[in-house]
Amino acid sequence: MPLSEFEKRELDLISNALESEDPRLAALLNKDAFAVSLRTRFRRGLALVAAGAAVLILGLVVRVPLLGIAGFAVMNGAAYWAIKDLRWSLRTTNRHVTQLEGNSE
Mean pLDDT across the stretch 13-22? 86
21-47 residue pLDDT tens: 888 877 777 766 556 677 888 899 999
Give residue 95's identity as a one-letter amino acid code.
R
73-89 residue pLDDT tens: 999 999 999 888 777 66
Distances (CA, A) of 40 to 12, 25, 62, 84: 30, 20, 33, 13
19 burial via Cβ count (<10 Å: 0-12, 13-18, 19+): middle
- Whether the model pTM is above 0.75: no
48, 53, 56, 57: which is closest to 79 by C-alpha? 48
